[in-house]
Amino acid sequence: MKFAVCVFPGSNCDYDTYYVIRDLLGQEVRFVDHNTRNLEGFDCVVIPGGFSFGDYLRAGVLASKTPLGHAIVDFAGKGGLVLGICNGFQVLTELHLLPGALLRNEGRDFLCRNVYLRVENNSLPFTRSFEKGEVIRLPIAHGEGRYYIGEEELKRMEEGGQVVLKYCDREGNVNPASNPNGSVGNVAGVCNRGGNVFGLMPHPERACEDLLGYRDGIILWHSLIA
């Protein structure tokens, strides 16, 4: 598979992501900068974490209005796989490729720690190597990760399998105590209706080697090439 890793001014997980794809997955990967207009030839576009354009105005909005932002919309429209991690998730909501918005964490803190997540939908190209209902552990690092969407729309998304990951405890219980940032319904990751665009706040690229203590993240990357 051929991957593109998007680089906006202020992206800061781009090299971690590039490393995982090239060195751990052994796949072809290229950086594409914010002026890129054409993503033809790629199979999967990854929007990495960071603070694109300094989070000015709203996290992700300035990145969404770049030539690369428009190219990502075209690419997704043709069925290409798009993965947005953390700031990448915020960019995808601003591109309207994913529903909802990401707001300041309920507790106002920047959260940098490990969380447990329950895999709600394992039928996606991004999650097919997980079991349905499996509890995994990944790190989060965000100040604006509180997923918000109206109740009705959330219900429709749940029914349609668009809620992919939920914050939970070690046993897989989804409740307010296991919700780190106040997201509606403990939502940590969602996909579009077509299942080819996936955004999540946790960082799978940071949990890929035993050296780092855990490697649940690599399963997500393996799903893509399975």
Partner 1 sequence: MKVKVLILPKKGLLEPEGRAVREMLRDEGFSVREVRVGKVVELEVEEGTDVRAIAEKYLVNPLVEEYVIE
Q: Which of 86, 168, 191, 208 is catalytic?
A: 86
User: What CA–CA distance (Å, rounded) separates 46 from 163?
Assistant: 19
Q: Cβ contacts of residue 176 below 8 Å, gap of 6+?
A: none
Question: Does 13 participate in catalysis according to the annotation?
Answer: no
Alpha-carbon Rg for the chain in angstroms:
16
The tokens for 221 are: 């990357």
103 lies in the site for partner 1, by CB under 8 A: yes
Is residue 100 part of the contact set for partner 1 (CB under 8 A)? yes
Q: Is 74 in the site for partner 1 (CB under 8 A)?
A: no
E strand or H helix at 3: strand 2-7
- What is the sign, positive or negative, of the torsion defined by CA atoms of 69, 72, 73, 74? positive
Active site residue 86: yes
Is residue 15 at the binding interface for partner 1, with CB under 8 A as the rule? no
The CB-of-149 to partner 1 minimum distance in angstroms stands at: 8
Of the candidates 15, 19, 31, 148, which one interacts with partner 1 according to CB under 8 A? Answer: 148
176 binds partner 1 (CB under 8 A): no
Contact call for residues 144 and 152 (beta carbons, < 8 A): no
Q: Which of the ranges 43-51, 100-108, 130-138, 168-176 carries the binding residues for partner 1, by CB under 8 A?
A: 100-108
**222, containing H or E segment:** helix 216-225
| Binding flag, residue 110, partner 1 (CB under 8 A) | no
Active site (catalytic) residues: 86, 203, 205
Residues that bind partner 1 (CB under 8 A): 57-58, 61, 65, 94, 100-101, 103-108, 146, 148-149, 182
